[in-house]
Structure 1
Amino acid sequence: MMVPWQSVPAETLTNLIEHFVLREGTDYGEQEVSFAEKVEQVREQLKSGDAVIVYSELHETVDIRRQRDLRP
């Protein structure tokens, strides 16, 4: 189930994004991107709809996923 990012309390949203960035381990190429910049990039992706917050009732977990990676 998708959860609107606007419905998540600000502190919780920040914690969720930070956790996502820390475990993502994405290679950003030759340019180093700071942790704060990565967090802001994910926040902007949520705002634009490129990323979504997904809650799994089965596993009782919350995750951030790219919209394009979700099954139709």
Structure 2
Amino acid sequence: MQIPWQSLEPDTLDTLIEHFVLREGTDYGEEEVSLTDKVADVRAQLASGEAIIVYSELHETVNIVLKNEYVPE
């Protein structure tokens, strides 16, 4: 089930995005990207509709995914 990002409290949304960004692991690029920049990028993707927040009733988890990659359960 999709959860509109606008329906979340700002602190909750910030925490969700930070946890999502921190799960991705180590950067292997030539330049490190700060947590602040990563969070801003994900927030922009949510605002543009490129990414969405989804809740899995089956797994009882919340995740952020690209909209074009989302497959409903």
Q: 1:25 Cα shift?
A: 2.2
Q: Which moved more, 1:62-71 or 1:39-48?
A: 62-71
Quote how far apart the aligned CAs of 1:54 are: 0.2
Alignment partner, residue 6 of structure 2: 6
- Paired residues for 1:52-71 under 5 Å: 52-71=52-71
- What amino acid maps onto 1:35 in structure 2? L
Rounded Cα–Cα distance in structure 2 between residues aligned with 1:12 and 1:23: 17
TM-score by length of 2: 0.88
Q: Distance in 1 between matches of 2:68 and 2:57?
A: 21
Deviation at 1:28, TM superposition (A): 6.6
Aligned sequence identity (%): 64
Q: Which residue of 1 aligns with 2:49?
A: 49
Unaligned residue ranges in structure 2 (runs of 5+) = none
Query: Number of matched residues?
Result: 72
One-letter amino acid of the structure 2 residue matched with residue 57 of structure 1: E
Q: Specify the code of the residue in structure 2 equivalent to 1:68.
A: N
Deviations along 1:15-68, one digit per CA (max 9) or x if unpaired, are 000000000126473222111000000000000011000001111111000112
Structure 1 unaligned spans of 5+ = none
**What is the CA RMSD across the aligned residues, in angstroms?**
1.6
